[in-house]
Amino acid sequence: MKSDNSFSNLDIRGIQITDAIPPEEYYSDIPVVKHIIHDGGIELTKPITIFVGENGIGKSSLIEAVAVAAGFNPEGGTKNFSFTTNDSHSSLCEHIRLVRGLGRHSDGFFLRAESFYNAASYLDELSKEDFRALLSYGGVSLHKMSHGESFLALVENRFSGDGLYILDEPEAAISPMRLMRLMVNIHELVQKGAQFIIATHSPILLTLPDADIIQITEKSLEHVAYWETEHFLVTKEFVLHPERMQKTLFDEVY
């Protein structure tokens, strides 16, 4: 399926919260949830949607809920991964409604940095029963590589063009150079029809071509250009004026 950046060809074209969330649930008060309820949902219009915002704003909670609502294991993997090492995911997924498009994909993967080790371990267990389980992941245990190498091996060997890929902070284990390599992989997969939904803190990853960047703050949830994101502005100021930033930071400390 060749991507034409069409709204109707996306697998997921909207995220809504369908019913009242009990006030005792911690996520009832996180900004991203409040904004989605207030705005009536989020529209996804491009093959790459990137959520960006400060810690605690709800990016990972939203990404996890979307992944589980789409049928993925909360700890990551394909829809066939059925392991559980720590059943700590929130019930936010029960309140999420995904607006589905016409481009239903045959492949998919939920990649989250914090539980990638668990997914790799589950894959090793599968390979003990059937050695072919590792073939589509490069033929080698992901534990025999560095964290960053295993991330890239997964993307380059397992991800196909016709897929829905949900990534939670994929930059966590990858050097800047390899992050650029990941961006090339993502771009090539999009040309083959893939859809990506990503949460990130990386100003590098935010430069993905034709990505829809959704910035979440305490006050709003809005579509912004790369150079309007807080992550870009802070990084630019630090890189251009490190001495000034150091003086501001350490003068306040001392």
Q: Per-residue pLDDT for 43 more than 80?
A: yes
| pLDDT greater at residue 22 or residue 235 | 235
| pLDDT tens digits along 45-86 | 999 999 999 999 999 999 999 999 998 988 777 776 655 555
Q: What is the pLDDT of residue 152?
A: 81
Average pLDDT over residues 117-136: 61
pLDDT of 87 over the 60 cut: no
**Element housing 134 (H / E):** none
User: CA 238, CA 246: separation in Å to the nearest integer?
Assistant: 8
| Mean pLDDT, rounded, of the chain | 83
Q: Range with the lowest mean pLDDT among 13-22, 89-98, 129-138?
A: 129-138
pTM of this prediction? 0.85
In the chain, domain spans: 7-227
- Express as a percent the part of the chain with pLDDT over 90: 46
Instruction: Report the pLDDT value the prediction gives residue 58, as an integer from 0 to 100.
Output: 92
Please report the beta strands in the chain, taking only residues with DSSP state E, as ranges in sequence order: 12-17, 42-43, 48-53, 96-100, 107-112, 163-168, 195-200, 212-216, 221-224
Which residues in 30-64 are b (16+ Cβ under 10 Å) and which e? bbbbbbbbeeeebbbebbbbbbbbeeebbbbbbbb
Task: List all residues 6 or more positions away from 173 whose beta carbon is below 8 Å from its beta carbon.
Answer: 113, 116, 146, 147, 148, 151
Query: 244 forms bridges with which residues in the sheet?
Result: none
Q: How, if at all, do strands 195-200 and 212-216 pair? A: unpaired
pLDDT in tens, 143-183: 656 666 777 877 887 788 889 999 999 898 788 999 999 99
Total length of the chain: 254
Out of 1.10.3720.10, 3.30.70.100, 3.40.50.300, 3.40.50.1370, which CATH number does the structure's domain 7-227 have? 3.40.50.300
Q: Return the structure tokens found at 145.
A: 């590589």
Q: Write the pLDDT tens digit of every residue in 6-36.
A: 455 799 999 999 878 888 888 888 999 999 9
State the pLDDT at residue 119: 63
CA nearest to 112, candidates 65, 159, 166: 166
d(CA 130, CA 243): 56
Q: At what angle do helices 116-129 and 147-158 cross, to 10 degrees?
A: 60
